[in-house]
Amino acid sequence: MTRFLSGSTERSMAIDSGQSDARDVAPALLRVLLVSLLFVCVGAPPASARAQWNTDMWTNFHDTFHADDAQTQTARMRIIDADGIASASLHATNDGGTTWDEYPMTREEPGSDWWVAAAPVSQVQPGVEIHYYYSCVDSTGEADLCPEDAPAETFEFSVLPINGSIGNPCMLLVDKHGRSSPGGDEMYSHLYEYYIREAMDVLGYTYDLYHVWVSNSPTYHGDGPDTSGMKYYDTQVWFFGYIWDYSLKRSDQVQLIDWLAMAGEGKERNLVITGNGVGMFIDFEGDTLDFYSGWMATEFLGRVGPGQLTVRDAAGGHDFMTYDDGQCPLHSGFDYQYQYDKLGPVAGTVGAELAVQYGSSAAAGVAYTHPTLGYQAVNLGFGVMFMMESVLPGGVLHGGHPGPSRSHGEHHALLPEACRQTGHVGS
């Protein structure tokens, strides 16, 4: 998904379709509804105000493993200005901003507020991260930028792999949520990926990051990477939010099963899944591929919460919670009260054991080593993004949402420790 990048702050610019289930809504109809609602909410700006910029999440630049796909991508941007827009441009770089190229945009049709940007073809090549921003000039000659602070703040998409390769595979982070998470001030200042990336950076892991295009889409827009992209990685970490629509689709399960099966050919394979509703989603849809019960050796046992919860080690051979007192509170939510999946090992499965629990008893996660293929997996019923630094009496969050490097504590230790348990040592 396209996102802002500016130091340690990212903000999603996609039009959010909310928490409703969009599986039965045709994409074209959904787009019309979103644009109509957007126009009602935003309206026409007064004269001399900044232009209003709105992206079309269904037609946008997105991460890919194929340069030829990136060459043909387009982006739609709605630009509203009381004086009318005379011209618009896309500005892009693939060398970190040392050089920039400008690409004129075209109006979708006469009189329309929608402008179309073709792919910045001179920037597109295998293994690059492309940063870009938009500019426009209205009929009075006044210029405007999106993001407002560009080029210090930009959008980004990648042609992967960047760090992974067949000969030297690394870790792939797969963002199936692509939205922001509330901090202690109840502001949505960071995307979920911020906490995952910071945890990996603190410990020096080498990784690539793949953003799913439109995470809750019922079409290919919502698919994760396929095996043509997964082959560059020996470890994958898939993370999800608290809305079950942004979950592990059947198409994703097929790709992950094929990737895990390659362990039978002697390839190292390690998988970490962390999110609040993956188990509930698969239980509702039906585990028809035996991905959860077979390949992850996991049984969905229901939900836990809302309310203040802690996670801690379960009795057994896995030491995940090795920092300080060996336990960590979970974010209970602000405008939305979070619930988490209870996940336990499938009874009688060799190599599967309970690794993490909520409080003193409820099952929170499974560690599994396949007895013959040898791949290793960790399946957590909660998103590690919701692990907090500390709480005050009454469950009040202290110090804001946990940026993993703040105290180098539990919230940054669990996910990398899960990766260590699956055999990935980083570099």
> What stretches of 263-375 adopt beta strand conformation (E)?
270-274, 298-304, 309-313, 327-330, 340-345, 352-358, 362-369
List per-residue pLDDT tens for the chain, 427 residues long: 444 443 333 433 333 333 333 333 333 433 333 333 333 333 444 444 689 999 998 899 999 999 999 999 999 999 999 999 999 999 999 999 999 999 999 999 999 999 999 999 999 999 999 999 999 999 999 999 999 999 999 999 999 999 999 999 999 999 988 777 666 566 666 777 887 888 888 888 999 999 998 876 777 788 899 999 999 999 999 998 766 567 899 999 999 999 999 999 999 999 999 988 899 999 999 999 999 999 999 999 999 877 778 888 887 666 677 666 777 888 766 556 678 899 999 999 999 999 999 987 899 999 999 999 999 999 999 888 778 754 322 222 222 333 332 232 333 344 545 554 444 433 3
In terms of DSSP bridges, do strands 52-55 and 74-80 run parallel, antiparallel, or are they unpaired? antiparallel
Q: How far is CA 213 from the centre of its chain?
A: 9
Inter-residue contact 316 to 355 (CB < 8 Å): yes
* 306 prior amide bond cis, ω within 30: yes
Domains and CATH numbers, the chain: 21-159 (2.60.40.10), 170-421 (3.40.50.880)
Inter-residue contact 156 to 162 (CB < 8 Å): no
CA distance 352 to 381: 15
Q: Could you tell me the pTM of the whole model?
A: 0.80
CA distance 183 to 87: 38
Inter-residue contact 123 to 94 (CB < 8 Å): yes
